[in-house]
Amino acid sequence: MAVIAWIGLGHMGGPMAGHLAAAGHEVVGFDVDANAVAQASAAGIRIARDVPSAVTGADVVFTSLPRSEHVREVLGGDAGGGVFAAARPGALVLDTSTVDVATSRWCHEAAEARGIRFVDAPVSGGIAGAHAGTLTFMLGGAADDAAEAAVLVQPMAGHVFVVGGPTSGIAAKLANNLMLFISLLASSEGARLAAELGLDPSVFHDIASVSSGDSWPVRTWYPVPGVVPTSPANRNFDATFTARLAEKDLSYALAAGEAAGLDLAAGRLALDRFERLIDEGYGDKDCSLVVKYVARDGRT
């Protein structure tokens, strides 16, 4: 069993760290938020007073932080306050956050410069998957490090993919989420068109979900109330995955596309819709609220 430091005990990190503690690892956590700390402490995680105290002496360090800038700050830090400065040489650091490719590359390079091993380890499966321990992990790094990471993440995982070298995990995550959010727009438009043409929403959903219009959003986030039990449309679009997170993931995917010389036109349209939700004060609502822009008068 390993000594594991976990930085960022939020909606995802808290339950994920809890699975590692339940599996018998000694888990030491840190978060700047008092609520996150209290919940993690109740789940058997020993709480440290800052990043260096959590990381010093750990064999493995996990991070689960909101955005790229938080990851750079917590890992890089300054004056010895960051993970890379405090971790022992040879420690394995896994970042499960969704970051942009340039930040992931920076993590690999900064870690290597200090003799620390780094694996990009983003996840899919949401808060429900974090609680259930059924996340999909996408691992990118040196072969030996990624293989070690694949064993470590098992208590939190339903599926584990060793994707390839540095940044390949985050590349898989961003390409997947680009597809997800374009599919969400497609299912929103199809669902609204079917309803306006007089179809019973449940009958049309049954057809689409076994036909060529099928997708994960059709089966999970169908944006018409009363059709799919898991849909946020049943609960006033209270968030399962916020519009703000969707905007972040898409902007990172589009930045990667631009750097690769690709024209991701459908992705740009989807990003525009999530930016509009945020501008209009719906950033903390579920991303499936984009269905409101299908109707010209903003009806959901």
* Active site members: 173
Q: Using CB under 6 A, which of the segments 59-67, 205-213, 225-233, 252-260 binds ligand NAD?
A: 59-67
| Ordered DSSP codes for 221-285 | --SSTTS-TT-GGGGTT--SSBHHHHHHHHHHHHHHHHHTT---HHHHHHHHHHHHHHHTT-TTS
Residues 6+ apart with CB under 8 A from 54: 5, 6, 7, 28, 29, 30, 48, 61
Binding of residue 114 to ligand NAD (CB under 6 A): no
Site residues for ligand NAD, window 186-245 (CB under 6 A)? 241, 245
| Residue nearest ligand NAD by beta-carbon distance | 10
Closest CA to 178 of 97, 269, 244, 113: 269
Nearest approach in angstroms of CB 67 to ligand NAD is 7
Q: Using CB under 6 A, which of the segments 65-73, 79-87, 159-167, 276-284 binds ligand NAD?
A: 65-73
Binding of residue 65 to ligand NAD (CB under 6 A): yes
Binding of residue 127 to ligand NAD (CB under 6 A): yes
Which residue, 234 or 251, has its beta carbon nearer to ligand NAD?
251
Among 19, 31, 108, 293, binds ligand NAD (CB under 6 A): 31
159: left (phi over 0), alpha (psi -120 to 50) or beta: beta
Distance CA 136, CA 42 (A): 25
Binding of residue 25 to ligand NAD (CB under 6 A): no
Among 4, 5, 6, 10, binds ligand NAD (CB under 6 A): 10
Distance CA 274, CA 299 (A): 16
At residue 64, the 3 state secondary structure works out as coil
286 secondary structure, DSSP code: B
Closest CA to 252 of 176, 192, 194, 189: 176
Binding of residue 32 to ligand NAD (CB under 6 A): yes
Which residue, 91 or 123, has its beta carbon nearer to ligand NAD?
123
| Residues contributing to the site for ligand NAD (CB under 6 A) | 7-13, 30-33, 36, 64-66, 70, 73-74, 97-98, 123, 126-127, 241, 245
